[in-house]
Amino acid sequence: MAHGDVKHDYHLVNPSPYPLIGSVSAVLMAFGGIAWMKGLFGIQQHNPILFFVGLAGVLFTMFGWWRQVVLEANEGDHTPVVSIGLRYGMILFIASEVMFFVAWFWIFFEMALFHHHRTLSSIDEVRTAWATWPPHGVETVPAWNLPLVNTLTLLTSGTTVTWAHHALQTGDRKGAKIGLFLTILLGVLFTSIQAYEYTHIITHQEFFNAEAANSGLYGSSFFMATGFHGFHVLIGTIFLTVCLIRLLMGGFSPKQHFGFEAAAWYWHFVDVVWLFLFAFIYVIFGTHAAGG
């Protein structure tokens, strides 16, 4: 331990203002988002000031709090016992994220089975309901165009982040930097492709014919699932960028690099979720809808 008077392996953190600042900022951002869309507490609709004030507070909390954690690690406060706790915490966080996406898949399959009526009395009715989702008249996004490119992009990024992790474990800092830089580039490429795809869906109205029955249900489930995944890719890219900056500044060692390890876990989680999204939303349902 860094401090001679400490007689245990646990780290008791010093008083910090960040939990309070983060909580207040999150509430302001939530109310600000509502005010921006609907108006609230005398704030006129389309006024984003309160939202961005809250967002600034959240970003300040993230930067300050995580910087504090990094300093604690550099000072030797993250003993093996503390490191185990950090790993458990990251595992539980990813588990909660898994359940978050389970909810979106649940919504998608719920609509696929019950978009016509709530009671399915036979397997034939289940097959019929399944076969008519997305609803007739909805033109889905072709799976083998940009979605396939994005799939290959994320799969490749999974290999480069694994390369970077292995290089760091073996003391090859140059290889770790290259692998991490390539992973970040691939993450930016994925986000750019998805933004381009969304632009064509929304601006050019190439898909999701609004006149088709239940097209709003399909469009909502599509955008919520793929949109939240895209947001997670953006967060993961920022996570990896911070790790690259720390690596360039001399941080991390073959034995102590949990920050990078956590980022790699998160990135692999994002990869796996996309495979499920691509398989079900784009390929299985999108392909049979396009064929029908």
What is the topology classification, in CATH, of domain 79-291? Four Helix Bundle (Hemerythrin (Met), subunit A) (1.20.120)
Report the 10 Å Cβ neighbour count for 277: 23
Tokens of 27: 């509430």
Tokens of 94: 């990813």
Q: Which of 126, 234, 238 shows the shortest CA–CA distance to 180?
A: 238
**8 Å CB contact between 209 and 252:** no
Q: What is the pLDDT of residue 11?
A: 67
Q: What is the pLDDT of residue 76?
A: 72
pLDDT over threshold 90, residue 291 = no
pLDDT over threshold 70, residue 124 = no
Whole-model pTM: value is 0.81
Determine the Cα–Cα distance for residues 24 and 238; give it in Å rounded to an integer. 23
Q: What is the pLDDT of residue 125?
A: 56
What is the pLDDT of the chain when averaged over all its residues?
81
Residue 40: φ, ψ to 5°: -165, 140
Contacts 24+ apart (CB under 8 A), 167-170: 168/247, 168/252, 168/254, 168/257, 168/260, 169/254, 169/257, 170/254
Determine the Cα–Cα distance for residues 100 and 229; give it in Å rounded to an integer. 10
Q: What is the pLDDT of residue 209?
A: 53
pLDDT over threshold 50, residue 1 = no
Q: What percent of the chain has pLDDT over 70?
A: 79
Determine the Cα–Cα distance for residues 205 and 225; give it in Å rounded to an integer. 19
**Per-residue confidence band for 281, with pLDDT thresholds at 50, 70 and 90:** confident
Query: CA angle, 148 as apex, 144 and 152 as ends, to 5°?
Result: 150
Determine the Cα–Cα distance for residues 198 and 278; give it in Å rounded to an integer. 15
Q: What is the pLDDT of residues 14-64, one digit of tens each?
A: 788 999 999 999 999 998 888 888 777 777 777 888 889 999 999 999 889
The domains of the chain are located at 1-77, 79-291
Q: What is the pLDDT of residues 154-168, one digit of tens each?
A: 999 999 999 999 999
Q: What is the pLDDT of residues 84-95, one digit of tens each?
A: 888 899 999 999
Q: What is the pLDDT of residue 122?
A: 56
Q: Amino acid identity, residue 229?
A: H
What is the topology classification, in CATH, of domain 1-77? Helix Hairpins (1.10.287)
Strands (E), 60-190: none
Determine the Cα–Cα distance for residues 134 and 292; give it in Å rounded to an integer. 10
**8 Å CB contact between 154 and 276:** no
Which has more pLDDT, 77 or 19?
19
Paired strand residues for 40? 43
Q: What is the pLDDT of residues 192-223, one digit of tens each?
A: 999 888 887 766 555 555 444 345 677 778 88
Q: What is the pLDDT of residue 84?
A: 87
Same topology between domain 1-77 and domain 79-291 = no
Q: What is the pLDDT of residue 166?
A: 93
pLDDT over threshold 90, residue 71 = no
Q: Residue written as tokens 């289940």?
A: 126
